[in-house]
Structure 1
Amino acid sequence: MSQEVSSFAQSYKTTIEIANNKASALKKSYLLYILSYITRGLGFAFFFPLLSVMFSEKFILNDAFFWFGAIVISTVVSLIFHWLALEFNYSTDLTDVTHNLRVKLGNKIKTMPLQRLNKYRTGELNSILATNVDQSVLHMGIVAGMGLEALIVPIVIVLATFFINVKMAFAMLLAFPLAVPIYKWSRGKIKVEKIENVKAHSTLEADTIEYLQGLPVLRSINQVGVNAKNLQKSIAKAREVQKKGTLGATLPMVVMITLIEFVFLMVLSLGALWIADASISIATLVALLVVLGRLSEPLANFLAIASVLDTMEIGFKHILGVLRQKDLKINEPILTPKTFDIKFNAVDFNYLDYDNKAMDNVSFHIKANSLTAIVGPSGSGKTTITKLIMRYDDPSCGNVEIGGVDIKNMTQVGLMSYISVVFQDVYLFDDTILNNIRMGKPSASDEEVQIAAQKAYCHEFITRLPHGYETTVGEIGGNLSGGEKQRISIARAILKDAPIVILDEPTSALDTQSEVAVQNALDELIQDKTVIVIAHRLSTISHANTILVMQDGTITEQGSHKELIDKKGKYYDMFQAQQRIKQWNL
């Protein structure tokens, strides 16, 4: 597996893009780092003339003070520039970049097509919002500064040495041609391992969240502990990748340190020869060795710094992958429907990564304030219809209208203000019952929430709970029964009071008593609304104004219950099959 190693220019460009409105502050920080390391390199270079003066046969105190003063001034100026460069990290700039980036990611997640959002597992998104942001941003100043130090200081010293002693400069240059292939080899090797490491840990995080959420089910089928195959596989993979990465990073580091030691010994040997033929003085060689010794640490750390930069870059890549997702286009002008009938006009739709059409030339018209049922086998396109009404994504062909207005001419917030949804699998947030219902209308008073709860037939069981409406429902509503969660979901929809209601078979998984309570709550919800219900039990929708029969992404039949029964087509066969099941005597 080969991976292209990004240049420092590419990494810089990406970093500036991530910094966004703080890019100028980051550029200023980088400039100050560069000035700091230039002056620091000059300070090291001044060791040569200082030691030459101090060990010369004719010692001149003023010359010694001059070069010593030059070193002190260079060091002080370098420290000042370095201190100012660190302001980006220790002021609010860095935290602002982190905060703004998470806000941008949050806004993107809210607006990107749900079809594209659903490609990410929960753990992957959590890793991007938490780990990747921290990896990318929290080190973008300091680590970049360390990388600049390892690059600039040696270059400045070598260039300055050319003005002092050409032979010494060429001796110091010997390390660079040897270091370049080691660096490229290391970057290529480490980057592959970093990508595998990030991917393995992202998968581990996703599998851990999935494991924790599904723990009750896993316990029931004895698939916990060593039997939790997916999680165990992810843990083993993360361990293997981490082990491989540690070994892979160590070898290049050892090679680089060996190279530095080799150059050190080679310069010492050449220096001894040059002293023998009086080309340089002992003082100059001592100065050269002192400077080389000081340079060994940043050069040795350079590969480690490059490794951190690779981690940052991978984090950048994942972040930008989310930020560069295209939002659904809102057409101008923004329009508001006057009525709430729904119309599909020759709609085609494909899910990502699937060749077969999920919808194929689907057209129908749902009248306002009517009840429409959608029936058909699993995978026939029932849920796809409701998703397209909520603009899960745009059709590949055709359009969807509400009240004669193309939904592309509505903002997502505007569109969803017209729609209430009651799902088969209810999601409640780990908050109080009061706040879960109030999500339907955040400005609602406590009294309005209670009225909605009464209409949804859940006020009675709520008042029996230890803390009433202030009772916390637990993660995903785990402290409540299925029927209780469903009625709270309906109370939320009643409080929202949207003109269009979508019901995804909300009673199919309930016991008889809960089903009666939920059905009564639904009767309150759907009064004077345009209602669409996805139905599996055909006996529950015989009173619908219109029934759409789906098969392989197309509408094969539509009409009232009586009309479809008289037609003796697909709907008739489905209805008769369900009636026979009811007659089974176990």
Structure 2
Amino acid sequence: MLKIIRRVLRLSGNLSKRIWGSFFCGFLESMFGLLPIVAVFFVLNQLQSGLEITGQTWGIVLTLIIGGLVLRSIFKYLVYRLQSTAGFEFVARERISLGDRLRNVPMGFFHDHSMGELTATMTSDLNYLENYSMHILDKVTSGVLTMIVMAICVLTFDWRIGIVFLLGIFLSFPVYNYMQKKGKDLSEKRQTIQADAIAATLEYVQGISVIKSFNMCEKNVSEIENAYEKNADSAYEVESVFTPLNMSYSLVFRICACIMMFCAGLLAIGGELTFARLSVILLASFTIFNPLEVMGQMTTLIRMLDSTLDRVERIKQAKRIDENGKDISLDSFDIAFDHVSFAYENGNPILNDVSFSIPQGSMTAIVGPSGSGKTTITRLIARFWDIQDGSITVGGHDVKEFTCDSLLKNMSMVFQNVYLFRDTIENNIKFGFPEATHEQVVEAAKKACCHDFITALPDGYNTVIGEGGSTLSGGEKQRISIARAMLKDAPIILLDEATASVDPENEVHLQQAISALVKNKTLIVIAHRLSTIRDADQILVVDNGKIAQKGVHADLIQQKGIYQNFWNIRQKVRNWKLAQ
């Protein structure tokens, strides 16, 4: 329990002062709640002493009661004020921190962690922290502090009744510890099941077109239903386990409260306890254990908070790929691979002892069979992964020397699988250059041959496109992606099948636009259409993770090998005719 408090305070950083302030105000709010009992004791003590109840006496009583209510309201307000601001700011900062961490982890991190788990952490877990963390900590700290103060007060009031009170606390510890242990196991299990349910939902929504096209809706719906049923079963299991435990925990205090009243009655009958003290003890017995009971009732929430913090900290502790990187400004933009070997997490080698150089301002084309490692080369230049052997340099600096930002600011990328954000078309084009004017956006769109179809849309450049660009065709998405790369105007350009989804008519215009874009820039192109790379300064032919051939188009088509085979197949395809 104290460990959880320390974890939250550590994560909250400079906001911990507000949290400590809310704890203190919460404790005072609980103490001022006892003033009405003090007022009752004062009146009864006056009566038992035979003193006359005067207006001054009633004034003191009313002052205690009203003062208690007012002060309790003030400190309750301060608790909510301090907790709310600290909680919201703390979680807002955590969202930004987690987003920044995910932006700088190796891509392999997303292989080791499911999208359901990451989505659950970024959404439901952070929402849980935002809505419950401060409330839970307030109740826990108030309960512990109130327990200590009440123990001192009761022992001072009557040591015999105080011993009964302490006995009740000690008897509750084994039940509470068992509840904490069961809560930890169940909360971890439940969060795993919640992540699986989110993953099933994402998979269903993202793959809905495939599901419908193969008429598999019923099968996939049943899988989601199973995930949701498991989620419901886990919630039911938590309730079924904790309902009897909470009852047992509360029963300990109920029995102790009855024993306190019984002992107080015996002491009063024996003349060892005054009527005023007896009345106060009887009144207090109904509420004295309330803070401790609330702590027990919140066991599930506490354990859920602990598991939530575990998942958040797992992301925060993920190693940044640029942990030791520096902000480097480049004067040259040549690229070199020196005996590079690389394998993904499954251990299968993708590149094996690959070496080549790309001079600044040149165009290098990469071709080869599917799965040969072409796209991997471009990903390694951008340092999406780290290589196992060799080195990759950009402008004479190893890519491991850079921070992610200082490396990627030099690159514009257009990948085969284009992703557009649920935003206006203009903002999607401006994504790499937010300060661009509308005129600059239009100019880039014209060069990328997408201005005409954008202006034909109802809201033109202000048209909001669906998530992932779902409301646009493949060719339209790719042209917007090319416009985005053009607008960024980076010195290094990576094009992975940039014209794959573009019709032949627009391909001619795009090639002209790309030619203008890459003037005096370092360009790396992956292409299956060999006609688009005939003018490349060098062509790298990749096969089975190695450079099988290297040269220019005119030389490679004369050499026996993969490139010549590709070219011959291409020429045969161009001569195909449909039989009548």
Common fold by TM > 0.5: yes
Q: Offset at 1:389?
A: 1.0
**Does the C-alpha gap of structure 1 residues 61 and 508 become closer, same or farther in structure 2, counting only changes over 3 Å?**
same
Alpha-carbon distance in structure 2 between the residues aligned to 1:345 and 1:39: 73
* Aligned equivalent of 1:169: 162
Distance 1:440 1:277 in 2: 86
Report the Cα distance in structure 2 between the residues aligned to 1:333 and 1:142, rounded to whole angstroms.
41
Q: Distance in 1 between matches of 2:209 and 2:223?
A: 16
Please tell me the residue identity of whatever aligns with 1:471: T
Report the secondary structure of 1:174's partner residue.
Answer: helix
Residue number in structure 1 paired with 2:23 = 30
Residues 177-196 of structure 1: CA deviation (Å, up to 9, x unaligned): 22111111111112222223
**Contact kept? 2:91, 2:129, Cα under 8 Å:** no
Q: Is the 8 A contact 1:175 1:259 kept in 2?
A: yes
SS at structure 1 position matched to 2:435: coil
Tell me, in whole angstroms, the C-alpha distance in 1 between the residues paired with 2:382 and 2:371: 19
CA distance in 1, matches of 2:154, 2:323: 62
Q: What does residue range 366-385 of structure 1 map to in structure 2 within 5 Å?
A: 366-385=358-377
Partner of residue 204 from structure 1, selected from 197, 203, 217: 197
| Higher mean displacement: 109-118 or 129-138 | 109-118
Partner of 1:3: none
Structure 2 counterpart of 1:17, from 10, 32, 49: 10
C-alpha distance in 1, partners of 2:415/2:94?
A: 32
Is the counterpart of residue 134 in structure 1 residue 123 in structure 2?
A: no
Amino acid at match of 2:363: L
- CA gap 1:44/1:396 in 2 versus in 1, 3 angstroms: farther
Q: Counterpart of 1:159?
A: 152
Judge which range, 257-266 or 243-252, deviates more: 257-266
Alignment of 1:35-54 (within 5 A): 35-37=28-30, 43=35, 50=42, 53=45
Pairing of 1:46-195 with structure 2 (within 5 A): 50=42, 53=45, 56=48, 58-60=49-51, 81-89=75-83, 92-116=85-109, 119-121=112-114, 123-195=116-188
* Residue 440 of structure 2 is aligned to residue 448 of structure 1: yes
CA contact (8 A) 2:197 2:228 kept: yes
1:289 to 271, 282, 285: 282
Q: Distance in 1 between matches of 2:206 and 2:151?
A: 59
In structure 1, what is the equivalent of residue 249 of structure 2? 256
CA apart distance, 1:485:
1.6
Change (3 A) 1:65 1:459: same
Tell me, yes or no, if the aligned pair for 1:136 and 1:315 is still in contact at 8 Å: yes
TM-score (norm 1): 0.85
Q: Deviations over 1:562-583 (max 9, x none)?
A: 6556654555666677778889
1:395 maps to a residue whose letter is I
Secondary structure of 2:229's match? helix
Q: Does 1:485 align with 2:474?
A: no
Corresponding position: 1:244 with 2:237: yes
Tell me which amino acid in the other structure corresponds to 2:486. I
Larger deviation, residues 178-187 vs 202-211: 202-211
**Mapped contact 2:328–2:406 kept (Cα < 8 A):** no
Q: What amino acid maps onto 1:445 in structure 2?
A: T
CA distance in 2 between counterparts of 1:285 and 1:402 reads 84
Using the alignment, how far apart are the partners of 1:139 and 1:290 within structure 2? 31
Query: Conserved in 2, the CA contact under 8 Å of 1:349 and 1:357?
Result: yes
Change (3 A) 1:32 1:560: same
Identity over the aligned pairs, expressed in percent?
A: 31
Q: Structure 1's 11 and 581: CA in aligned 2 closer, same or farther, altered over 3 A?
A: same
1:467 to 431, 442, 459: 459
The letter for the 2-side match of 1:88 is L
Q: Is the 8 A contact 2:150 2:288 kept in 1?
A: no
Q: Which residue of 2 aligns with 1:404?
A: 396
CA contact (8 A) 1:487 1:521 kept: no
Aligned counterparts of 2:147 and 2:325: Cα–Cα separation in 1: 58
Change (3 A) 1:54 1:551: farther
Would you say the 8 A contact 1:136–1:313 is kept in 2? no
Q: What is the correspondence of 1:215-230 to structure 2 with a 5 Å cutoff?
A: 215-224=208-217, 227-230=220-223
The residue type paired with residue 422 of structure 1 is V
> 1: CA distance between counterparts of 2:272 and 2:540?
97
TM-score with structure 2 length normalisation?
0.86
The residue matched to 2:483 in structure 1 has which SS? Answer: helix
Pairs aligned (count): 575
- Conservation of the 8 A alpha-carbon contact between 1:48 and 1:288: no
Q: Distance in 2 between matches of 1:474 and 1:394?
A: 33
Q: CA deviation at 1:293?
A: 0.8
Query: Which is worse superposed, 183-192 or 409-418?
Result: 409-418
Farther off after superposition, 32-41 or 95-104: 32-41
Q: Distance in 1 between matches of 2:269 and 2:73?
A: 39
Query: CA RMSD, aligned part only?
Result: 3.7
The separation in 1 between residues aligned to 2:90 and 2:277, in whole angstroms, is 47
